[in-house]
């Protein structure tokens, strides 16, 4: 990969040359390069920790580069904050959306540049709503400008963020993992918007770990590795294996196949479990040495079911048995005592304390193992944390550093290390590879397969059908709060699972009429 971005060729909207940035003990970027044409979708790929986030944060003014040059619209720039970048036509839609939930859609779109009344200087709400409605119509979103943001889905919030960028006449929009928290149907709508923006001459920097999306959308691909620019190429002519090798710098091992495992005794049995407004009449069994996949569209009830089993939002009715014994799970403490571990879909909300160190996050739920009498033994705590981090493949991290200083992939591994330190027999993993790069994802896949092979019972909730098919022994399909099918992962296809997820059978649970493929 050796194509160097040209310097001042006509048509560039963004040119980055020799950008470097160091943090204490870490060289996040070293001599990075990037060039984006007007009206193109330019994918930026790399493992977590490759420098993608640092590069984007420098571009929009959240961080300052130590060296290098940025040219935007043909002139040198060094934005001091995101508002300055936005006013200049450079916008970013973050993976973790940050709307103002109590304000309306129109107010969110116009925040910071509200139209004012000609005579009194008051906010002209009629003009603001008219402009917002026009932008939303352009994006194909039938949404009332006066609707509060808190009522919107993630996909709708993303579209409002795009409308906000267009209100500022953005020439370049940075999209960071925009499909990580939306359904396949919502992603299709987003792709349509992106293609329309490209046709209108808007450039997009697209960051994603989902290579299918990259091969579908991108015109050009730039790869970063270990903070360095690896190269830039047109997407046409690239194949998946070559691109992955450039990203990770090594050949990825395939995960163990489900056929290599023989499921053992029943570890978790659920009968008629229900929670009003979430799921009803759910029945299934999960065995030792088994990965049981749970598929379904967003809103199908997968996450509420997992949360109920861990006591975060207990069920209203039904029976749970753990290792053959009736279990009452009214809170996470009950679940932990029964040997159930949980990794939630939102690591920032459910898995980490961002103000604490890596080591303290790992040992937070297992402090008794670190104590001598009533006192915490810091030496023992550090040793346990270091051993746990090694076990899940966290490299280059110190137990004493802030957890927010880690890449998203390593943060997810810290959550898993914390869960495993309690020694659970049953693991509930909800979107465990969300926002994880291909290298870290392969490592986590191998780890999940290894845990099942070592006797753990794993309930895997995932929106990624290839992941479910690769890791699961069986897959349960959920739709509108009920199970519609149970499929054999060795013979099922993505199309079959989607068919049952979108218009499946009518049974309230596998014991009550769910189909089997």
- Residues 102 and 150: beta-carbon distance below 8 Å: yes
**pLDDT tens, 41-91?**
999 998 767 888 889 999 999 999 999 999 999 999 999 998 899 889 999
Specify whether 283 is located in the same domain as 201.
Answer: no
Q: Are 190 and 280 contained in the same domain?
A: no
Give the span between the Cα atoms of 461 and 440, in whole angstroms. 18
The secondary structure of residue 246, as a DSSP letter, is H
pLDDT tier for residue 282 given thresholds of 50, 70 and 90: very high
My answer on whether 78 and 178 are in the same domain is: yes
Check residue 4 and give its pLDDT. 40
Domain boundary among 201, 221, 248: 248
CA dihedral for 208, 209, 210, 215, sign (positive or negative): positive
- What DSSP character marks residue 272? E
Which stretch, 47-56, 321-330, 411-420, 432-441, has highest mean pLDDT?
321-330
Residue 511 in this model has a pLDDT that exceeds 60: no
User: Which of the pair, 450 or 114, is modelled with greater confidence?
Assistant: 450
In this structure, the answer to whether residues 223 and 303 fall within a common structural domain is no
| Higher pLDDT among residues 400 and 253, named by residue | 400
Query: What mean pLDDT is reported for the chain?
Result: 84
Count of domains forming the chain: 2
Which pLDDT value is given to residue 334? 95
Which of 91-95, 111-115, 246-250 has the least mean pLDDT?
Answer: 246-250
Query: What digits encode the pLDDT tens for the residues 183-242?
Result: 677 778 888 889 988 998 999 999 987 888 899 999 999 999 888 898 899 999 888 877
Residue 112 lies in a domain: no
Residue 7 has pLDDT above 50, yes or no: no
Q: Is the pLDDT of residue 507 over 60?
A: no
Res. 6 pLDDT band, cuts 50 70 90: very low
Range(s) of the domain holding residue 327: 258-339+424-516
CATH number for the domain that contains residue 334: 3.40.50.300
The angle that helices 240-248 and 438-453 make with each other, rounded to 10 degrees, is 90
What's residue 25's pLDDT?
Answer: 66
E strand or H helix that includes residue 341:
strand 340-343
Buried b (16+ CB within 10 A) or exposed e, 102-112: eebbbbbbbee
Domain assignment present for 324: yes
Task: Please tell me the distance from the alpha carbon of residue 247 to that of residue 224, in angstroms, as a whole number.
Answer: 7
Which pLDDT value is given to residue 111?
84
As a whole number of angstroms, the distance between CA 295 and CA 81 comes to 41
If pLDDT is split at 50, 70 and 90, which confidence band does 146 have?
very high
Residue 434 has pLDDT above 90, yes or no: no
If one counts every other C-beta atom within 10 angstroms of the C-beta of residue 312, the result is 17
Least trusted range by pLDDT, from 40-54, 105-119, 300-314: 105-119
Query: What is the reported pLDDT for 482?
Result: 93
Residue 161 within a domain: yes
- From 214, 281, 286, 280, select the one nearest 246 (Cα to Cα): 214
- Tens of pLDDT, residues 456-477: 999 999 988 888 999 999 999 9
pLDDT at 510: 46
Establish if 195 belongs to a structural domain: yes
Q: Is the pLDDT of residue 8 over 60?
A: no
Whether residues 158 and 224 fall in one domain: yes
End residue of a domain, out of 201, 226, 248: 248
Between the alpha carbon of residue 512 and those of residues 28, 271, 281, 299, 483, the distances in Å are: 54, 10, 8, 21, 9
Q: Helix crossing, 378-391 with 408-420: angle to 10°? A: 110
SS percent in the chain: helix, strand, coil, step 5: 35, 25, 40
Q: Which pLDDT score is estimated for 441?
A: 79
Q: How confident is the model at residue 137 (pLDDT cuts 50, 70, 90)?
A: confident
Among candidate residues 248, 274, 296, the one where a domain is terminated: 248
pLDDT, tens digit, 9 for 90 and up, residues 12-51: 999 999 999 988 767 889 999 999 999 999 999 987 678 8
Residue 283 falls within a domain, yes or no?
Answer: yes
The answer to whether residue 392 sits within a structural domain is no
**According to the model, what pLDDT value does residue 250 have?**
56
Same domain, 158 and 242: yes
Do 235 and 263 lie in one domain? The reply is no
DSSP 93: E
What pTM was estimated for this model as a whole? 0.64
- Within 8 A by CB and 6+ apart from 380, the residues are 369, 370, 372
Report the relative pairing of strands 266-275 and 317-322 from DSSP bridges: antiparallel
Higher pLDDT: 149 or 400? It is 149
pLDDT digits (tens, 9 = 90+) for 163-190: 888 888 889 999 888 887 666 777 788 8
Show the tokens assigned to 56.
């984007």
* Residues recorded for the chain: 517
The four Cα atoms 238, 240, 244, 250 give a dihedral, to 10 degrees, of -100
Check whether residue 296 and residue 237 sit in a common domain: no
pLDDT higher than 50, residue 140: yes
- Which of 146-150, 438-442, 443-447 has the largest mean confidence? 146-150
Q: Is residue 312 part of a domain?
A: yes
The answer to whether residues 162 and 59 belong to one domain is yes
- Pairwise CA distance, residues 347 & 233, whole Å: 34
Q: Does residue 60 sit in the same domain as residue 176?
A: yes
User: Does residue 503 lie in a domain region?
Assistant: yes
505 and 429 part of one domain: yes
219 lies in the same domain as 262: no
pLDDT reported for residue 367 = 79
């Amino acid at each position: 990969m050796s194509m160097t971005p040209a310097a001042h060729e006509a048509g560039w909207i963004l040119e980055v040359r020799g950008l470097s940035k160091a943090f204490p003990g870490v060289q996040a970027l070293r001599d990075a390069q990037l060039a984006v044409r007007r009206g193109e979708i330019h994918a930026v790929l790399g493992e977590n920790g490759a420098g993608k986030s640092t590069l984007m944060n420098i571009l929009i003014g959240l961080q300052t580069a130590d060296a290098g040059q940025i040219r935007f619209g043909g002139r040198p720039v060094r934005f001091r904050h995101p508002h300055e970048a936005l006013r200049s036509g450079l916008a970013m839609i973050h993976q973790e959306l940050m709307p103002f939930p109590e304000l309306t859609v129109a107010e969110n779109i116009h925040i910071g540049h509200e139209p004012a009344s000609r005579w009194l200087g008051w906010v002209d709400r009629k003009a603001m709503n008219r402009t917002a409605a026009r932008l939303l119509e352009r994006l194909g979103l039938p949404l009332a400008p006066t609707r509060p943001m808190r009522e919107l889905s993630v996909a709708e919030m993303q579209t409002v963020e795009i409308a906000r960028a267009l209100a500022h006449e953005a020439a370049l929009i940075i999209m960071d993992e925009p499909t990580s928290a939306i359904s396949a149907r919502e992603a299709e709508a987003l792709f349509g918007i992106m293609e329309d923006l490209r046709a209108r001459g808007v450039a997009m920097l697209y960051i994603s770990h989902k290579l299918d999306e990259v091969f579908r959308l991108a015109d050009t691909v730039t790869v970063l590795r270990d903070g360095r620019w690896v190269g830039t190429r047109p997407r046409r002519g690239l194949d998946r294996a070559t691109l992955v090798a450039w990203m990770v710098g090594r050949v990825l091992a395939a995960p163990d196949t489900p056929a290599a495992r023989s499921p053992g005794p029943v570890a978790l049995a659920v009968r008629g479990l229900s929670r009003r407004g979430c799921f009803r009449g759910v029945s299934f069994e999960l065995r030792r040495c088994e990965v049981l996949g749970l598929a379904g569209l967003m809103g199908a009830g997968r996450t509420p079911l997992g949360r109920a089993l861990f006591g975060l939002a207990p069920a209203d009715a039904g029976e749970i048995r753990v290792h053959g014994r009736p279990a009452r799970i009214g809170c996470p403490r009950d679940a932990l005592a029964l040997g159930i571990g949980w990794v939630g879909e939102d690591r920032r909300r459910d898995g980490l304390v961002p103000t604490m160190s890596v080591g303290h996050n790992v040992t937070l739920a297992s402090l008794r193992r670190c104590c001598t009498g009533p006192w915490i033994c810091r030496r023992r705590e550090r040793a346990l944390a270091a051993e746990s981090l090694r076990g899940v493949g966290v490299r280059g991290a110190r137990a004493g550093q802030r957890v927010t200083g880690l890449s998203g992939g390593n943060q997810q591994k810290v959550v898993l290390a914390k869960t495993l330190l309690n020694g659970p027999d049953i693991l509930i993993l909800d979107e465990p590879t969300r926002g994880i790069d291909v290298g870290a994802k392969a490592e986590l896949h191998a780890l999940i397969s290894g845990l099942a092979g070592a006797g753990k019972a794993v309930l895997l909730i995932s929106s990624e059908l290839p992941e479910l098919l690769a890791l699961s022994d069986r897959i349960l399909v959920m739709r509108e709060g009920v199970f519609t099918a149970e499929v054999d992962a060795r013979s099922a296809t993505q199309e079959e699972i989607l068919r049952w997820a979108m218009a499946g059978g009518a049974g309230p649970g596998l014991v009550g009429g769910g189909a089997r493929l």
